[in-house]
Structure 1
Amino acid sequence: GVRDTGLTVKGMFIGKKIVNTADQGSTVNVPLEDEVETGEPVFKTYDSLLMATLEVKNIIKIPVNMSFIAHVGEPVKLRISDTENEINTQGSCASRAESKPISKSAITEQLKKLGNTIFEAGEIAFEIDDNIFIPVSEINSLRREGIDMLLQLRLQKWKRPCSKPIIHSGIKHVKSTRPILAVNSGSIESFKAAVDGGADMVYIGCDVFMNGKPQMKAPRVASLQSHASGGRVHVCPAGHTWARSREPAGFRSGASTSTVAPVDVAHTYGSPPYVDIAGRYAPAGAYVSMHCGGHDADERRFVEGDDYRHAIEYGRKKGVKVFFSIPRIVKNINEISNFFSPQRTQSDLSPDGFVVANSGVLYHLRRTETAAPVVIDYPFNIFNRLTVEYLLNYSQRVTLSPELTLKEISNLTSYGSTECIVQGNFPLMVSEHGLVRGLFPKGPGEVCLKDEKGFVFPVKTDRNGRTYILNSRELCMLEYVPDLIKTGVDCLRIEAGTYDRLKTKKITRAYRDAIDNCGVKMKCSDFGDHTTGHYFRGVL
């Protein structure tokens, strides 16, 4: 049957009886031209009765009295009064009629045409010469001008004086250092590749795509050993695999393994499993059961525990800052506190900072006791100096809108620490709902949207079931790094959420060389189809 169809209901039946209306809860039959599937939902997009109630009816209009004055050789005058306010207006000079003079009734007919204004004509007085001619267009012009003047006069008493806000010119800072390089990674392998490729700062987080190649590493199952099986891998029921859990830092060795319950590891349609880090660890030597099925809302976690720990330790070992990128949509704000301690030490696993994409999370972090720095992400859509200066009161650095041009960026960078996205296929839209899963319940593989011009937009799903629509072409500014440096931007960011390990390292190294040497050895065309975004064609 046809799904995308619609009609205007001109008749419906209850049984065999034609009816115009039906009570709530009634079952009606509506004739359709197209056949539809049984059980398809029906949506009402227009209700004629509801719209009729919204129509403006019986408006009480304000009566106005008019006085029309016209003498041959003098300007035509019109006075309009609503008893509280009065205006006077005048037009061109009246002339003597050569054949047919204008009558008072003809003038009255034109003056009463107040249309959809709030006024209606009351008494109309005349002071005109006999045998006079005035063009109808002149009368209409006088009426319109007079009504507009009266309306503005009535509105004037409701206007309140307000002082204009004082906008300071801002304090400019002279910058002489080159920008640092940040990479937003999409997997633990991508994270390590970014560190090894020369990134100064790497972001990790939850927006990991599951129906694309990059994703956080699942527990390994290839080389498992068991005391009971003598080194053989267990054969499990359908939909299950068994994997050895790793001992978490600080876990007491020597604990019994015989009474430890298996740990659930969530597995979302068609993707590798991910460890639940709700604090449920099994001791070394125990086995962990991994099952198919999605997360409940309360079971969602930001990032896999072992990967997170490994990333923090690996970054510190290499001298690279590791920031935790908080998702744009956060269900439980208190879970963020799991990623830092109030008194941060080198031995704990708190990130070096946070990347924040919405104001609610920013407010929460500022109310906590953590002193971890914050980077404002691009969904804040920062376009002007006032926004830059305001958000820098609550953050270490702000990411400018990807819709700014190089010239517009150069006008902002001197007012504080700024960051620009220069590479990657970052999301144009994010939805809390799993749109793809409804269409492909058994696993979608690669999904895209194709517009009428033939552009293909990849559609990805993260571990929380959220849907991301990515840009049709990958952003690349590698050849324009010298121009970006001239703008004074403090940080260049690579969005590597869809990259594998090799591509992440290759691109990170290319930008590292371009920043350090102010020269570009590779071109964007070496990485495939690309776009320069709005850097050379803004939206303002």
Structure 2
Amino acid sequence: MLKKPELMAPAGDMTSLTAAVENGADAVYLGMKNFSARGYANNFSLDELVEAVDYAHLKGVRVYVTLNVLVKDSELEDAVNLLYYLHDIGADAVILQDLGLITLARKLVPELPVHASTQMTVHNLESVRFLEDMGVGRVILARELSLEELEYITKNTAVGIETFVHGALCISYSGQCLFSSMIGGRSGNRGFCAQPCRKKYNLYKDGKKVETSGKYLLSPKDLNTAKILPELINTEVDAFKIEGRMKRPEYVAGVVSIYRKLIDRYVENPSDYYISDNELKQLGQLFNRDFTTAYLLNKPVNLINPVRPYNRGLPVGEVIVYNRKRKTLQIKLSDTLNIGDGIGIEGEEDTGDTVTSMYKKGNNINSADSGSIVEIPFKYRVKSGSRVYKTFDKHLNESLEKTFTSSVPARKIPVSIIVKAFSGSNLELQISDGTNNVSVVSDYVVENALSKPTSKKQIEKQIAKMGNTVFDPSEITIHTDNKIFIPISQLNSIKNKAITRLEKKRTEKWKRPQKKGNESYRMYLNSDSITSRSSSPQIAVNVVSTKQLESAVSGGADLIYFEYLKYQNSEIINNDFEKLVETAHNSECRIYLNTPRITTDNEMDDIKKSLARAKSNNFDGVMVSNLGVLKVAKSMNLPVIVNASLNIFNKISFDFMLKCGAEKVVLSPELTIDQIKSVSSKGQAECIVHGPLEVMVSEYCFVGDIFGSKKSCGYPCRNSEYEIVDEKGYSFPLEMDENCRTHIYNSRNLCMLDNIDDILKSDVASIRINAGTYEPFYVEKLTKTYKKAVNGSTTPDTGCTDILKGHTTGHYYRGVL
């Protein structure tokens, strides 16, 4: 028997939740007004959340609540209070990103299951095992994994595994994108992504503009796995997730209903699986930017839709002519068009409109079929021959709306009912949903019939009338004498009491005993802090070549982070580790191997070999950038420094990493100086003060897609430099690594030289220069300058303006939403 995955639907509000439940979702995920990764959705208030949980549980549907953002120290108490609240009202699980909040949840509300958000960038088995050790019950894997990788992880862990099957995609690994954050202060890690990936960019190669088929170079198509659902089910993943908390309820209803049918169809009869043309059409009509299976069938070609970053709809016809005088559009239809439908024109942005009237041969009509030539009012001038798309189908949306607005619910719970009606005894009714049993004994004593007895058929007919309740009698058994009389009002009364009690039993069983306040949280938060440091912070320099290392050491670096497998032209792969260590140690400089933030299971063996080489060659330790490599490094007894990619944002997550054995933690670049000071009071912290900040890492190499052939990439990145330029003229450099991932850097380099006094007051143990893209002579100059600065010997001509023509202070003063 095939394992049936849980179908998990988005709910941006109560209407969408109802749409999901009524159309067959096994579970819903939703956010609250605070701490949700979809901060722009309507989301749920505390009272609405109770209503949502009770409604879903009544229907037998699980509710997972998202608190999947990074949490500031100042917000921890509110976040903990929400954890207590979710525990008490019976939420089935909480979805978290913040390692500190996971730690608190497991300590304070261990009965509340924790799911690890896709924002945690979990993409290898060792990371899953790390979270399993923390007590996490389910992990939502990164969208970048293949079917083989999903199956490997699923079959080698006891933790539940969840994956996305439909909806919008991020071009970056979720949790590793600072693009929106750095250009406008709206952090994706805080639920306020402004979606810069859906904006226009020009591509430049070696300083020259490249003509591309469209300008939306970072805008991916939407995920649609309907055609490969059998392969996904065969991986034995525990849950299938539909994206869409910002979408309309009709979208939720339509997508959920189709995936419900497809999952059931395959599990019940694998040899007869199919997806109909109408089902495919409905998925496309509800919303699409064109569809893709993303990385499930390995690295995709043409993942991006560079022409249109929003809903494309489906083809409905072709423009014959636009009448400028009458402002009407004549279209030859290839599909049905109705009054109230929305349309858009291919290649013409911002030309969407609603069909308010329609004419055929001069006659006013409400609907027209394929092959018809119609004329509609249209205010935008468009070219003849342009394709017309239906972006909104009024009739489809109306039919879907009925599935969740009817007074009689579509989703019913089967129940069995037993009625005992014996003359001279109290009327009794028992009702069971298979798990919950209710028995009601009425005050009414069954009478002997004087004339017309109440038959079994009459009793059964009356009891079967469930109206708009959620119950559907699958079996009714009547035990009675032959000649009795029961008023209909008494049958209705006992039935209604039984229904009310069963409803209450179905919802109350999930509620947990109320937790006492958050005293234990306060004790945990107020644990011992270290005293203020009297010494100056050490200078750490991140490098990717031997010459950069030598320059950093000459400049007075205290720490070297030697980055592993970063760029296509990197020397590191073939470097002699022994000589690297000798160069550093001869100048009393410690050296750490800096590992990639993305390490798939296929790449983990190489990482393990490199860690072993580093250990045998006396590296001082390793910098880890994902949880999997952290687990591996600790198993090898290597000293570790935790990199910024692990999003350490508050005291609790910082303290957790120290307890995991980290000797130092690089804090999130989204923290302000004041927030850094708060966190760093717990131990050895580092902050990044200079260099290009990586704002995105993507599994997709669009440079290779644009310049490579269909048969092979050709590695155009090896001999040229690339950048993308936004509509405001800001340039974002690109680098492609050895594993063909794209790394995008901020348009301005970070520089805190002019503000070094504020950094010193934050009590960090070390400050870091990201020097991987700099020439060796510049690395030495930077290192010397910062070394002097932390020792209080800066001069006016060594500020950021002198070092860099354009620079930013990042989030040190503005912070993020």
TM-score range, shorter chain: 0.5 to 0.7
**TM-score with structure 2 setting the length:** 0.38
Query: Is 1:10 paired with 2:10?
Result: no
Distance 1:57 1:432, change over 3 A: same
Contact 1:216–1:307, Cα closer than 8 Å, also in 2: no
Does the aligned pair in 2 maintain the 1:326–1:356 contact within 8 Å? Answer: yes
1:371 maps to 2:637: yes
Q: Which amino acid aligns with 1:525?
A: T
Q: Secondary structure at the match of 1:507?
A: helix
Matched, 1:329 2:606: no
Aligned ranges 1:70-85 → 2 under 5 Å: none
Deviations 1:489-521 (A, max 9, x none): 001000011111011111011011112235355
Q: Does structure 1 retain, via aligned residues, the 8 Å contact 2:680–2:763?
A: yes
The aligned counterpart of 1:508 is 783
Alignment CA distance shift 1:392-1:450 (3 Å): same
1:450 maps to: 725
Taking the aligned partners of 2:770 and 2:723, their CA distance within structure 1 comes to 19
CA RMSD of aligned residues (A): 4.0
Q: SS of the counterpart of 2:768?
A: strand
Q: How does 1:346-425 map to 2 (within 5 A)?
A: 348-366=616-634, 368=635, 370-394=636-660, 395-425=662-692
Amino acid of the residue matched to residue 359 of structure 1?
A: L
Contact 2:690 2:769 in 1 (8 A): yes
How many angstroms apart in 1 are the aligned matches of 2:383 and 2:567? 42
1:67 corresponds to which residue? Answer: none
Note if contact 1:333-1:364 (Cα within 8 Å) is conserved in structure 2: no
1: CA distance, partners of 2:390 / 2:808: 41
Matched, 1:338 2:600: no
Which residues in structure 2 correspond to 1:403-482 (within 5 Å)? 403-441=670-708, 443=716, 445-482=720-757
Would the aligned equivalents of 2:608 and 2:632 in 1 still touch at CA under 8 Å?
Answer: no
Instruction: For residues 276-295 of structure 1, give each alpha carbon's deviation from its aligned partner in whole angstroms, at most 9, with x where no partner exists.
Output: xxxxxxxxxxxxxxxxxxxx
Matches within 5 A, 1:83-482: 159-163=511-515, 164=517, 166-167=520-521, 168=524, 169-174=526-531, 175-206=533-564, 208-210=566-568, 215-217=569-571, 303-331=572-600, 332-341=603-612, 348-366=616-634, 368=635, 370-394=636-660, 395-441=662-708, 443=716, 445-482=720-757
CA drift of 1:157 comes to: 8.0
SS of the residue corresponding to residue 315 of structure 2 reads coil
Q: CA deviation at 1:478?
A: 1.0
CA distance in 2, matches of 1:343, 1:379: 21
Bigger drift between 332-341 and 170-179 goes to 332-341
Partner of 2:760: 485
Q: Are 2:806 and 1:529 equivalent residues in the alignment?
A: yes
AA aligned to 1:321 is R
Q: What is the CA–CA distance in structure 1 between the aligned matches of 2:764 and 2:538, rounded to whole Å?
A: 9
- The share of aligned pairs that are identical, in percent, is 32
Q: Distance in 1 between matches of 2:385 and 2:744?
A: 32
Cα pair 2:314 2:390 within 8 Å, conserved: no
8 A contact 1:476–1:530 mirrored in 2: yes
SS across alignment from 1:517:
coil
Q: Residues 209 and 497 of structure 1 are in contact (CA less than 8 Å); yes or no, is this contact kept in structure 2?
A: no
- Higher-Rg member (1/2): 1
Instruction: Measure how far apart 1:343 and its partner are.
Output: 11
Q: Deviations over 1:5-35 (max 9, x none)?
A: 65642259xxx99677xxxxxxx99x99788
Q: Deviations over 1:208-247 (max 9, x none)?
A: 344xxxx534xxxxxxxxxxxxxxxxxxxxxxxxxxxxxx
Q: Which ranges of structure 1 fall in alignment gaps of 5 or more residues?
A: 21-27, 37-42, 63-83, 85-117, 121-150, 218-302
> Contact 1:184/1:494 (CA < 8 Å) preserved in 2?
yes
Secondary structure class of the residue paired with 1:324: strand
Give the aligned partner of residue 92 of structure 1: none
Deviation at 1:49, TM superposition (A): 9.7
Give TM-score, length-normalised by structure 1.
0.56
Check the 8 A contact 2:543/2:772 in 1, yes or no. Answer: yes
Partners of 1:313 and 1:204 lie apart in 2 by 13
2: distance between equivalents of 1:342 and 1:18? Answer: 64
Unaligned runs of 5+ in 2: 1-212, 215-305, 319-331, 337-369, 374-381, 411-437, 439-467, 471-502, 709-713
Q: Show CA shifts across 1:411-470 (max 9, x none).
A: 111111100000000210001222211123363523222223322111221232210110
| Aligned equivalents of 1:316, 1:209: Cα separation in 2 | 25
- Give the equivalent residue in structure 1 for 2:404: 56
Kindly state the Cα deviation for residue 378 of structure 1 after the two structures are TM-superposed.
0.7
Q: Partner letter of residue 750 of structure 2?
A: L
Corresponding residue number in structure 2 for 1:495: 770
Q: 1:48 to 1:206 in 2, by over 3 A?
A: farther
- The answer to whether the 8 Å contact 1:208/1:497 transfers is no
